[in-house]
Amino acid sequence: GENVEQHPSTLSVQEGDSAVIKCTYSDSASNYFPWYKQELGKRPQLIIDIRSNVGEKKDQRIAVTLNKTAKHFSLHITETQPEDSAVYFCAPPMDSNYQLIWGAGTKLIIKP
């Protein structure tokens, strides 16, 4: 079945620095690559997604890059701020039924 791995599991960065979280997947037929953010005690929310026909997508301080050959996609957050502290999940779909396969999450800590 589909296997999804996220790295690192915890990431601590100084406010203002950049953060990068990587997601590796196994299903080569996946064509949709979302990132969700979940703040403590709140619901997961989609922050950015990319489809397989593009290699990069940016939205202000966040970006996602996709390497289909290597089967990984990464979340990039620049100029980090305290409100970026959260758990981030990648969730590429399993091709057979488009069920999302969730990574284990990366806890991002922004140090003041």
Partner 1 sequence: GAGVSQSPRYKVTKRGQDVALRCDPISGHVSLYWYRQALGQGPEFLTYFNYEAQQDKSGLPNDRFSAERPEGSISTLTIQRTEQRDSAMYRCASSLAPQGGGNQPQHFGDGTRLSIL
Q: Cα angle vertex 46, ends 106, 52, to 5°?
A: 90
91 binds partner 1 (CB under 8 A): yes
* Choices 15-23, 57-65, 75-83, 85-93 (CB under 8 A): range interacting with partner 1: 85-93
Contact between residue 64 and residue 78 where contact means Cβ atoms under 8 Å apart: no
46 binds partner 1 (CB under 8 A): yes
75 binds partner 1 (CB under 8 A): no
89 binds partner 1 (CB under 8 A): yes
98 binds partner 1 (CB under 8 A): yes
Single residue of 34, 50, 73, 84 touching partner 1 by CB under 8 A: 34
35 binds partner 1 (CB under 8 A): no
Contact between residue 65 and residue 51 where contact means Cβ atoms under 8 Å apart: no
Q: Cα angle vertex 63, ends 74, 44, to 5°?
A: 75
Quickly tell me which residue has 């970026």 as its tokens: 84
Q: Taking the CB of residue 72, how many other CB atoms lie within 10 A of it?
A: 18
For partner 1, the binding residues (CB under 8 A) are 31-32, 34, 42-46, 49, 51, 87, 89, 91, 93-94, 97-100, 102-105
